[in-house]
A and B are shown apart, each in its own frame.
Chain A
Amino acid sequence: MNMLEIRNLHASVDGKDILQGIDLAVNAGEVHAVMGPNGSGKSTLAHVLAGRDGYAIAQGQVLYQGKDLLALAPEARAAEGLFLGFQYPVEIPGVSSMYLLKTALNAQRKHRGEPEIDAMDFLAWVRDRLAKVKMDIAMLHRGVNEGFSGGEKKRNEILQMLVLQPQFIVLDETDSGLDIDALKIVADGINAMRAPDRAILLVTHYQRLLDYVKPDRVHVLARGRIVKSGGPELAAELEEKGYGWLEAAAA
Chain B
Amino acid sequence: MSATVAAALAALPDKRHEDWRYTDLAPLKAREWVEEKGTDTFLPAFEGSEPVTQVVRLGDRADGARLLTHRIALRPGQQAVLVLHEIGGDVSCLAMHNLELELADNAALTLYRIQQPGAATNLISRLDARVGRDARFTCVGLYAGGALARNDLNVALEAPGAQAELHGVLAPAPGEHLDVHTRLDHRAPHGRSRESFRCLVPAKARAIFNGKVIVHPGAQKTDSEQHVDSLLLSPGAEVNAKPELEIYADDVKCAHGATCGQLDEDALYYLRTRGLDLPAARRLLLRTFALEVLDRIAHQPARELAARVLEQRL
By a beta-carbon cutoff of 8 Å, the part of chain A in contact with chain B is 50-53, 73-75, 77-79, 83-84, 86, 89-90, 92-95, 100, 103-105, 107-108, 111, 160, 164
Contact = CB atoms under 8 A, between A and B. Distances in A.
A52 B275 contact: no
Nearest to B266: A90
Contacts of A103: 276, 280, 284
Contacts of A53: 265, 269
Contacts of B273: 50-51, 74-75, 77-78, 83-84, 86
A40 B184 CA distance: 57
Interface of B: 264-267, 269-278, 280-281, 284-285, 288-289, 291-292
9 contacts: A52-B269, A53-B265, A75-B275, A77-B273, A84-B273, A89-B270, A90-B269, A104-B275, A164-B274
A18 to B, nearest CB: 17
A83 B269 CA distance: 13
Contacts of B284: 95, 103
Contacts of A164: 274-275
Contact of A94 (B265, B266, B271, B292): B292
Given A79-B275, A104-B274, A74 B269 contact: yes
Given A92-B285, A94-B289, A107 B277 contact: yes
Contacts of B274: 78, 100, 104, 107, 160, 164
Contacts of B285: 92, 95
A100 B271 CA distance: 8
A129 B292 CA distance: 29
A50 B266 CA distance: 13
Given A73-B277, A79-B275, A160-B274, A94 B269 contact: no
B291 to A, nearest CB: 7
A73 B271 contact: no
Given A51-B272, A77-B273, A86-B270, 19 more contacts: A53-B269, A73-B272, A73-B278, A74-B269, A79-B275, A86-B273, A90-B264, A90-B267, A92-B267, A92-B285, A94-B291, A94-B292, A95-B285, A100-B271, A103-B280, A104-B276, A105-B275, A107-B277, A111-B275
Nearest to B272: A74
Interface of B, helix, strand, loop or mixed by DSSP: helix
Best-buried of B266, B272, B280 by chain A (most CB within 10 Å) = B272
A181 B89 CA distance: 62
A239 to B, nearest CB: 31
A51 B278 CA distance: 13
A226 to B, nearest CB: 24
Contacts of B289: 94
A93 B289 CA distance: 9
Nearest to A88: B266
Contacts of A92: 267, 270-271, 285, 288
B288 A75 contact: no
A92 B274 CA distance: 13
Contacts of B272: 51, 73-75, 78
Contacts of A108: 275
Contacts of A104: 271, 274-276
B267 A107 contact: no
Best-buried of A50, A73, A74, A78 by chain B (most CB within 10 Å) = A74
A74 B277 CA distance: 8
Contacts of B291: 94
Contacts of B280: 103, 107
A94 B271 CA distance: 14
B209 to A, nearest CB: 21
Contact of B288 (A51, A74, A94): A94
A108 B277 CA distance: 10
Best-buried of B265, B274, B278, B285 by chain A (most CB within 10 Å) = B274
